Amino acid sequence: MRYHVLTLFPEMIDQAANTSILGRAVKNGSIQVETTNIRDYSANKHMRVDDYPYGGGAGMVMEAEPVYRAYEAVKEKIGHKPRTIYLTPQGKVLNQTMVEEFALDEDLVLICGHYEGIDERVLEEVVTDYVSIGDYVLTGGELGAMVMIDAISRFVPGVLSNEESSQFESLQDNLLEYPHYTRPEVWHEKRVPQVLLSGDHKRIEAWRYEQSVLRTTERRPDLLRKSYRVHCAFYGGMESGAGQLNEALSRYGTLLDFNRKKLRKQRYHFERQDLLVVMVDEEILKNPGEPEAFSNVRGKKTPCMAVITTQEEQLGQVEEKLKAMFDKQGFLYKKTYHLPSLEKVDKLNEIALDIRRKMEEIHEK
């Protein structure tokens, strides 16, 4: 990942980018953080970069031309029109899904404003994304840019060691992390919860989930409304793909194997707070005999999406079949993904990210 930061205070970025985990990532080459001083591109002999606002009012406005020239220099180096983020309290508030999406780019340009902001006309020409890091006002965009660089870099290969990267993420499920404990077993007369000493992994997982929900209810009820339980149901030879998708979507997701006759017979009820993802291949078109896969699942306006691994020619047919079926059975069929081959691991992760984005859209409405 290469970050290109346009700023009037490059030393602020350089300092932070060369410290701690980011500093190590720069040294080992996983990330590059390159700063461009906008003042070096001033069109003015006094190197001025700001001026009074048209229409009057307090403060100064950064001129369009120096920002544009700095941007053009970076664009030239990258070789194409890059994803370009303007850090502003007027942007979309950064969240984990956005972070992971930005991490997919090779180059990111980050523009930091100062004073009252930047002349609107240059922003219109170069900015692809407006990002805020929260509902408060900072003196400039640099701290916002550093927050983004830090959060995004955690998803860049080679930045975190095995111990540092927790595969399972707090916030991935819109749930806060459960509480953590280490030795000693008793501290200030407080005992470590007994279940954690039991060695019973199933019970421990259940306890952790319960704690996460409790915590989120108490501390972040706004997040809880956006959380949903993931269920990945598969039919045909999709077991490994469904397992991987399930893990990419949720720490607590369930896997349902509809190749098993018993599951196909059983009634399954899903609620509004569930998400059903079905993964199928061309097997779904052959009549498997009674009962048919998924014919016994029922939803209550439960969002539903499908990942289909078939030949291009069969895709429409399979999609129509699933859509009609799930709509009839109480689901809100939202989207179909075509996965050309189960070997495409990156593609599955991309699908998982898109599903999360889609779920956010649903909750924004």
**Interacting residues with ligand 6GU (CB under 6 A):** 87-89, 132-134, 136-138, 140-141, 144
Question: What's the min distance (Å) between Cβ of 196 and ligand 6GU?
Answer: 38
Distance CA 243, CA 230 (A): 12
Q: If we measure between CA atoms, which residue out of 250, 257, 245, 260 comes closest to residue 342?
A: 245
Contact call for residues 84 and 109 (beta carbons, < 8 A): yes
Question: What's the min distance (Å) between Cβ of 59 and ligand 6GU?
Answer: 13
Between 86 and 326, whose beta carbon lies closer to ligand 6GU? 86
Between 59 and 340, whose beta carbon lies closer to ligand 6GU? 59
Between 7 and 246, whose beta carbon lies closer to ligand 6GU? 7
Question: What's the min distance (Å) between Cβ of 133 and ligand 6GU?
Answer: 4
Q: Which two tokens stand for residue 74?
A: 């970076």
Q: Which residues contact 46 (CB under 8 A, 6 or more apart)?
A: none
Residue 203 phi, psi dihedral angles, 5° rounding: -65, -40
Distance CA 81, CA 121 (A): 17
Between 54 and 136, whose beta carbon lies closer to ligand 6GU? 136
What is the Cβ-side half-sphere exposure of residue 4, based on CA atoms within 13 angstroms? 22
Sole residue written with tokens 């495409």: 344
Question: What's the min distance (Å) between Cβ of 93 and ligand 6GU?
Answer: 8
Question: What's the min distance (Å) between Cβ of 11 and ligand 6GU?
Answer: 18
Contact call for residues 50 and 63 (beta carbons, < 8 A): yes
Distance CA 2, CA 357 (A): 24
Question: What's the min distance (Å) between Cβ of 128 and ligand 6GU?
Answer: 15
Which contiguous run of DSSP H or E holds residue 303?
Answer: strand 302-309
Between 85 and 248, whose beta carbon lies closer to ligand 6GU? 85
In three-state secondary structure terms, 224 is helix
Between 141 and 253, whose beta carbon lies closer to ligand 6GU? 141
Distance CA 102, CA 229 (A): 25
Between 7 and 36, whose beta carbon lies closer to ligand 6GU? 7
Question: What's the min distance (Å) between Cβ of 131 and ligand 6GU?
Answer: 6
